[in-house]
Amino acid sequence: MVTCKDFLRELSDYLDESVDPAVRQELERHITQCPNCWVICDTTKKTIQVYKGMEPEPLSDEIHAKLIQLVEKHCSQKHEHEA
């Protein structure tokens, strides 16, 4: 019999689909009977999704240009060193 605490302990592995099929079945039975755990599971899943879906912000032109300049300098120094 899975308790709410058992469910919480397994929640991450359950969402990552890395629990054994037998355990998975037990956990799924629990959430059909426990509205609190169902909500926790659903909102944790959505938390992960919302972060995964967030594209990184473009860098400012200045930061990008500085980085490219540094990398180019590094390449030319390496090239001279190896020549």
Partner 1 sequence: MPSQESEPGPESVQPATEASLVERARQGDPTAFNELVNRYERKIYRMARNITQNDEDAEDILQDSFLKAFTHLDSFQGQSKFYTWLVRIAVNESLMRLRKRKSDRTVSLDENIETDEEPIVREIAVWDDNPELRYSQGELRGILDQAIAGLKPIFRTVFLLRDVEELSTEETAEALGLTVAAVKSRLLRARLQLREKLTRIFRRKGDQIFGYV
Interaction of residue 31 with partner 1, rule CB under 8 A? no
Give the residue with the Cβ less far from partner 1, 22 or 54.
Answer: 54
Structural tokens at position 78:
């390496």
Shortest Cβ distance from residue 22 to partner 1 (Å)?
19
Instruction: Give the distance from CA 58 to its chain's centroid.
Output: 20
- How many Cβ atoms sit within 10 Å of the Cβ of residue 30? 19
Q: Are 52 and 46 in contact (CB under 8 A)?
A: no
Shortest Cβ distance from residue 36 to partner 1 (Å)?
5
Give the residue with the Cβ less far from partner 1, 26 or 34.
Answer: 34
Interaction of residue 29 with partner 1, rule CB under 8 A? no
